[in-house]
């Protein structure tokens, strides 16, 4: 699925969102957001004041209307964010058609509706069947179309045993037959969790969101106090502040901008994550991702391609490299392992040796067996054996050559050692009893890894490679991939210990992995990203699942986490900084009638006290709408260091927050005056 | 309680050569609270109500103790920041004793001797009767003054020995003594920022906090000086203006600049000693001291109290900025959570509630208005100033207000208690919570809590979060008054 967001104000989303904004006026829902709740109470009181006050009715009515708009705009922001998630949930729901499962019980098959399946049941799926529930393949191998959840049309292989055994309910088997043990009951499956996540139904406030809400609530209480005490001060000074005016001042001062957009920011964060095909089980994990500073990566399949590949031909003294390549290619033509195929490819690339027609009836392939621990090919000449090529590990080849009465040359032994030391695997090639040389097999580092790790370093994240290899090999690969640190000969216990140590040192640890042996570490890590191709155990243990199974997706996850916090921080700064301009609009307006001398404070030269107050309130409402796109998109994150980011955001949202409202309020005042609304 | 008893029974106790009677219950309550909370609000007149014994035992004890307590509390908070995964914040009594014996007493001894050398009196004689050149009889105050003044300044207590405080010739004899007294007000508050740097192993952070304080201080002094030098336009029109600005209520020995400087310093710190009458400042000149106190006296501040007040703003600044860089906010490696924000905001809320709440009550109650000397916006400034000063534990007064009434004695006393102890509770909770936290090592993703950006951020937070709250009330007080003065209307 491409990370393409629907247009910001898609009619399909905006339409229902407008309806939702009114539904959300329910006080029981509003009370969860103290800032907007206070605004709503203010709007209600002002509405009553319209009927109770004999004069200035038009002014108070307009004030009331805009106060209601402020509340509605905030609700609208939340509804739009939810709407975007809902659109996605609907497409997911289509995948969750209730199917009929073929349950195996005591060896016989019976058909039951999928919702009746229990944890531990076994079901059969054949080509064309929809997998009825999340589970683990316990028998067979099949290609599965997971487009329903990943959006990727290419089918994936799922087989019993190993690291590719997990299947997801709602996906479809394309070929073959598998037996699945159900691991999740209906309603708690992967797809269900995904739907509830995007819909925001189970959204809980994250720790930083809670802290920010407290800050905003406390500010609201303080400003409430300011406005309440202003009344007696006014009485003393002989100024009668009317209730609507005090409410207007209060609503302008309390941080409505951030208060109104806070939940929209949170929802859109999760939404953005899902657009990148990452499923988070909690918003907390997304937020934690922004703080991650140590990343543990499983080597195999993550940093490297996971298969050893031929990388060089190292001929014995006196042997042409091309002859070695030719022999190695011939010996590998029938070898269907990735290693065998890579030798064929390397010979083709290095010596332009095309794959020859080896299907000739005379060629006889010798497959790898546990006893001989070598493979090769024999070309029978008329009557005898013309060419006999073998390849294998150094020990078995030495025995083989010795057995034929040949000599194992010393320089080849040296080459073998060197290859081992550099992190590769040596494969000795012999023709007849002559040792031709060594094929160096190496675990290939995936393309672009170095740049990705450099990017992570710039973000302040240390990368640690985890591998079961010996330290020598591990060091060589670590250097090639450009990770900061590595951990060799890692057992599940060692991984867990490492994570605990990093955490004790105050780090926040992220871990990516796919195997069952990664599960404990994934569970212990603050952010555990399991690959969708991984085992069910791994997917259960982590708090995020990457549907694309791309380990460096973590970069994007971290960026989204950071964006989430940055957007909140920037809008809070903006919101608080706005107060300065609003003071300059409202305070002179409130005092002008009694103390005309204060006129110089009206630095914006607003037309009249009433237009000043109304302009400030209108600005306050409109700014929420204006900032919805930013809240949904998030503030851009660049890995340029914390200080540079702070300076940039402080300039844009701090200084901008001081200046923008001056211009905005003045502009609105001009419009109001021109339209003669006051 | 002990202080209250001494004040009530001072006529029975020794060292009372003037045979001064007991204080009224509400005044004794006010005074006892005042000195315990390091406020040193003076509703009493030093020379006319307090015996030597009361001055020395009851008040001096508190001068030392309340200062040491302030430093001890700041120490606890700083330790909370510096320590990690800790369960304790240090022993309060150990701090108290150490601060008193190793810091306050030695400096005070030297300082007191210096003050005597400048002509300050230090004796136990009864007051001297003198006949002036006009033939009138005048009572000249005597007593152990130098030793009291030393701790009054150093401990930012500010309770004057005589009613005129540092404007009195005996209590502030020479320009040099004036300068040294000002310096001593700032010395501990300023030094504590250095100590903050030392303790947290981040000296640059200590200096940054100091710089933020310094900028606010300079801004205050310059505004105040400018307003006072500009003087009163009405005087200019009448041609009676003093050459160097508004001299009303100022001691001619010190002049405008020294008075403005002293006023700013004494309100930046929660000292409250005065060498001029703030009430007679021009509206904007008076606005500065008032504003300083309402910021929570964080500009160097009262010994200890200034630092912990400032650290509350540091924590809030770090919280907002931390979000802006995209990380869970960290202060020196410690994650700031919901609890810390709650406590920090609570302390601001207490300040706001006490100042605005009581002042609003005073503004509409007969008791409150009864004490006013001046009408109009200036009267509002006086009430605001009184409760700001009490809540902020400053103790300086706008002086236009007659504070020695039962209502003011009681409400101001309560405001002082709130300002001191209700502030301490959230701050200690904050210290405890910070001490328990683990420290995350800094990386390129952590923003530094030193340098120019941090100072600007801190100043911004102080002004936006701390100061804006008082603006509407101030607008009705000094700001309106200022514009009215320009129009030629006085109160």
| pLDDT for res A505 | 82
What's the rounded mean pLDDT across residues B454-467? Answer: 84
CB contact under 8 A, B440 and A293: yes
| pLDDT for res A1 | 37
CB contact under 8 A, A506 and B346: no
Domain boundaries, chain B: 2-486
CB nearest A233 (choices: B360, B444, B448): B360
Residue A432 tokens read as: 């007849």
Partners of residue B370 in chain A, C-beta under 8 Å: none
Q: Does B328 touch chain A (CB under 8 A)?
A: yes
| pLDDT for res A331 | 82
What's the rounded mean pLDDT across residues A404-415? Answer: 85
Q: Which residue has the higher pLDDT, B368 or B189?
A: B189
A residues 216-235 lying closer than 8 A (beta carbon) to B: 218-219, 221-223, 225-235
What's the rounded mean pLDDT across residues A276-303? Answer: 81
Q: What's this model's pTM, rounded to 2 decimal places?
A: 0.81
- What is the DSSP-derived secondary structure letter of residue A315? E
Q: What is the DSSP string of B191-205?
A: HHHHHHHHHTT-HHH
B residues 359-418 lying closer than 8 A (beta carbon) to A: 359-361, 363-364, 369, 376-377, 379-380
Number of H helices, E strands in chain B: 22, 4
Q: Does A287 touch chain B (CB under 8 A)?
A: yes
Residue A260 tokens read as: 């109104």
pLDDT surpassing 60 at residue B490: no
Please give the ipTM for the structure prediction: 0.85
Q: Using alpha carbons, select from B218, B204, B194 the residue that is nearest to residue B288.
A: B218
Please give the mean pLDDT across all residues of chain A.
82
Q: Does A458 touch chain B (CB under 8 A)?
A: yes
What's the rounded mean pLDDT across residues B179-200? Answer: 77
pLDDT surpassing 60 at residue A585: yes
Q: Which residue has the higher pLDDT, A382 or B260?
A: B260
User: Which range, of A33-42, B45-54, B114-123, B170-179, averages the lowest pLDDT?
Assistant: B45-54
* C-alpha separations of B34 from B108, B274, B395 in Å: 21, 16, 8
Number of H helices, E strands in chain A: 23, 21
Residue A672 tokens read as: 């109001």
CB contact under 8 A, A597 and B483: yes
pLDDT surpassing 60 at residue A452: yes
What's the rounded mean pLDDT across residues B457-472? Answer: 83
Q: Does B333 touch chain A (CB under 8 A)?
A: yes
A residues 611-650 lying closer than 8 A (beta carbon) to B: 637, 641-643, 645-647, 649-650
| pLDDT for res A456 | 85
pLDDT digits (tens, 9 = 90+) for B108-133: 677 777 767 766 666 666 666 666 56
Listed in sequence order, the residues at least 6 apart from A90 whose beta carbon sits closer than 8 Å to its beta carbon are none
- Please answer whether residues B400 and B374 qualify as being in contact, where contact means their C-beta atoms are separated by less than 8 angstroms: yes
CB nearest A215 (choices: B319, B333, B470): B319
Distance from CA of A564 to the nearest CA of B (A): 7
Residue A563 tokens read as: 């964006």
pLDDT surpassing 80 at residue B83: no
Q: Does B451 touch chain A (CB under 8 A)?
A: yes
User: Which range, of A379-393, A534-548, A582-596, B143-157, averages the lowest pLDDT?
Assistant: B143-157
- What is the DSSP-derived secondary structure letter of residue A594? T
Q: How confident is the model at residue A205 (pLDDT cuts 50, 70, 90)?
A: confident
CB contact under 8 A, B446 and A460: yes
The count of CB pairs under 8 A between chains A and B is 218
Q: Using alpha carbons, select from A562, A552, A564, A560 the residue that is nearest to residue A455.
A: A552
Q: Does B452 touch chain A (CB under 8 A)?
A: no
In the set A163, A271, A298, A514, the catalytic residue is A298
Spell out the alpha helix ranges (H) of A240-298: 243-253, 256-275, 283-289
CB contact under 8 A, A226 and B353: no
CB nearest B325 (choices: A212, A577, A645): A645
Strand-strand pairing, A434-445 and A278-280: unpaired
Q: Using alpha carbons, select from A217, A199, A186 the residue that is nearest to residue A283.
A: A199
- Please answer whether residues B24 and B413 qualify as being in contact, where contact means their C-beta atoms are separated by less than 8 angstroms: no
Active site residue A298: yes
């Amino acid at each position: 699925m491409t990370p393409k967001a629907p247009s910001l104000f898609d009619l399909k989303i905006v339409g229902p969102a407008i309806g939702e904004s009114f539904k959300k006026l329910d006080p029981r829902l509003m009370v969860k957001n103290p800032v907007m709740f206070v605004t709503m109470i203010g709007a209600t009181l002002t509405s009553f004041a319209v009927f109770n006050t004999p004069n200035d009715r038009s002014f108070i009515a307009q004030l009331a209307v805009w106060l209601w708009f402020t509340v509605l705009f905030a609700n609208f922001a939340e509804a739009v964010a939810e709407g975007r998630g809902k659109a996605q949930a609907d497409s997911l729901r289509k995948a969750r058609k209730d199917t009929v499962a073929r349950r195996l019980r005591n060896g016989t098959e019976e058909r039951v509706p999928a919702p009746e399946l229990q944890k531990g049941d076994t079901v059969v799926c054949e080509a064309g069947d929809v997998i009825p529930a999340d589970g683990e393949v316990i028998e067979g191998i099949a290609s599965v179309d997971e487009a329903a959840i990943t959006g990727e049309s290419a089918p994936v292989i799922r087989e019993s045993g190993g690291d590719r055994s997990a299947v997801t309910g709602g996906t479809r088997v394309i070929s073959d037959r598998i037996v699945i043990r159900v691991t999740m009951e209906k309603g708690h499956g992967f797809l269900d969790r995904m739907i509830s996540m995007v819909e925001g139904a189970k959204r809980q406030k994250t720790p930083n969101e809670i802290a920010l809400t407290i800050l905003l609530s406390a500010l609201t209480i303080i400003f409430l106090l300011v406005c309440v005490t202003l009344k007696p001060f006014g009485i003393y000074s002989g100024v009668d502040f009317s209730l609507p005016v005090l409410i207007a001042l209060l609503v302008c001062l309390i941080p409505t901008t951030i208060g109104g957009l806070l939940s929209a920011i949170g929802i859109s964060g999760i939404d953005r994550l899902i657009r990148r095909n990452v499923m988070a089980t909690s918003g907390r994990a997304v937020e934690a991702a922004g703080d991650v500073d140590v990343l543990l990566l499983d080597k195999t399949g993550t940093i490297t391609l996971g298969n050893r590949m031929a990388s060089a031909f190292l001929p014995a003294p006196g042997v042409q490299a091309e002859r070695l390549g030719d022999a190695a290619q011939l010996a590998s033509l029938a070898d269907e392992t990735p290693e065998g195929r890579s030798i064929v490819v390397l010979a083709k690339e290095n010596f332009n040796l095309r794959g020859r027609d080896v299907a000739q009836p005379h060629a006889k392939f010798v497959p790898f067996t546990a006893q001989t621990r070598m493979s090769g090919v024999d070309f029978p000449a008329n009557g005898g054996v013309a060419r006999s090529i073998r390849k294998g590990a150094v020990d078995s080849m030495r025995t083989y050559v010795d057995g034929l009465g040949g000599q194992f040359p010393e320089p080849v032994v040296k080459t073998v050692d060197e290859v081992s030391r550099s992190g590769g695997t040596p494969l000795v090639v012999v023709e007849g009893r002559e040792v031709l040389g060594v094929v160096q097999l190496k675990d290939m580092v995936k393309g672009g890894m170095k740049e990705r790790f450099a990017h992570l370093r710039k973000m302040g994240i240390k990368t640690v490679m985890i591998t079961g290899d010996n330290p020598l090999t591990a060091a060589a690969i670590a250097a090639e991939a450009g990770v900061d640190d590595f951990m060799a000969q890692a057992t599940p216990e060692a991984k867990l210990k490492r994570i605990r140590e990093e955490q004790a040192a105050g780090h926040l640890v992220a871990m990516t992995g796919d195997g069952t042996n990664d599960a404990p570490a994934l569970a212990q890590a603050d952010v555990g990203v399991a690959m969708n191709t991984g085992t069910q155990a791994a997917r259960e243990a982590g708090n995020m699942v990457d549907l694309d199974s791309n380990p460096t997706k973590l970069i994007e996850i971290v960026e989204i986490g950071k964006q989430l916090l940055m957007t909140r921080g920037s809008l809070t700064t903006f919101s608080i900084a706005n107060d300065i301009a609003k003071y300059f609009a409202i305070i002179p307006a409130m005092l002008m009638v009694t103390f005309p001398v204060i006129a110089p404070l009206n630095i914006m030269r607003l037309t009249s006290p009433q237009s000043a107050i109304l302009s400030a309130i209108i600005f306050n409402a409109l700014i929420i709408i204006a900032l919805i796109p930013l809240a949904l998109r998030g503030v851009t994150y660049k890995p340029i260091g914390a200080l540079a980011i702070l300076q940039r955001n402080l300039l844009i949202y701090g200084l901008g927050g001081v200046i923008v409202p001056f211009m905005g309020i003045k502009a609105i005042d001009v419009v109001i005056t021109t339209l003669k609304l006051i | 309680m002990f202080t209250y008893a001494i004040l009530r029974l001072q006529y029975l106790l020794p060292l009372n050569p003037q045979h001064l009677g007991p204080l009224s219950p509400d005044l004794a309550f006010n005074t006892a609270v005042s000195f315990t909370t390091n406020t040193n609000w003076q509703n009493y007149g030093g020379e006319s109500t307090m015996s030597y014994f009361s001055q020395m035992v009851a008040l001096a004890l508190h001068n030392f103790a309340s200062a040491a307590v302030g430093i001890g509390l700041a120490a606890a908070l700083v330790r909370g920041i510096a320590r990690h995964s800790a369960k304790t914040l240090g022993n309060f009594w150990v701090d108290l004793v150490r601060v008193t014996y190793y810091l306050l007493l030695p400096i005070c001894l030297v300082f007191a001797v210096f003050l005597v050398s400048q002509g300050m009196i230090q004796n136990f004689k009864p007051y001297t009767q003198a006949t002036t050149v006009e033939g009138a009889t005048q009572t000249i105050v005597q007593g152990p003054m130098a030793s009291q003044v030393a701790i009054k300044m150093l401990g930012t207590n500010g309770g004057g020995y005589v009613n005129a405080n540092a404007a009195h010739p005996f209590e502030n004899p020479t320009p040099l003594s004036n300068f040294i007294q000002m310096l001593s007000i700032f010395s501990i508050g300023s030094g504590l920022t250095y100590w903050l740097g030392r303790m947290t192993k981040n000296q640059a952070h200590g200096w940054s906090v100091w710089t933020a304080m310094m900028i606010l201080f300079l801004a205050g002094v310059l505004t105040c000086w400018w307003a006072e030098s500009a003087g009163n336009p009405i005087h200019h029109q009448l041609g009676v203006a003093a050459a160097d600005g508004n001299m009303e209520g100022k001691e001619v020995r010190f002049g405008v600049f020294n008075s403005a400087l002293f006023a700013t310093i004494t309100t930046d710190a929660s000292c409250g000693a005065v060498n001029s009458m703030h009430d007679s400042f021009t509206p904007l000149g008076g606005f500065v001291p008032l504003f300083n106190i309402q910021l929570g006296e964080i500009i160097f501040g009262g010994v200890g109290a200034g630092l912990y007040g400032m650290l509350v703003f540091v924590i809030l600044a770090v919280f907002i900025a931390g979000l802006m860089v995209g990380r869970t906010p960290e202060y020196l490696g410690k994650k700031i959570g919901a609890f810390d924000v709650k406590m920090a905001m609570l302390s601001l809320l207490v300040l706001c509630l006490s100042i605005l709440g009581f002042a609003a009550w005073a503004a509409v109650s007969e008791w409150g208005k009864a004490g006013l000397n001046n009408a109009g916006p200036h009267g509002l400034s006086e009430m605001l100033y009184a409760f700001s000063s009490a809540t902020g534990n400053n103790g300086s007064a706008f002086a236009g207000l007659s504070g020695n009434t039962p209502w003011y004695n009681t409400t101001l006393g309560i405001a002082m208690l709130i300002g001191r102890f209700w502030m301490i509770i959230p701050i200690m909770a904050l210290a405890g919570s910070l001490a328990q936290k683990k420290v995350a090592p800094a990386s390129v993703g952590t923003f530094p809590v030193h340098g120019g950006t941090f100072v600007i951020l801190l100043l911004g937070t102080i002004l936006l979060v701390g100061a804006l709250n008082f603006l509407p009330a101030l607008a009705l007080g000094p700001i309106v008054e200022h514009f009215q003065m320009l129009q030629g209307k006085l109160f």
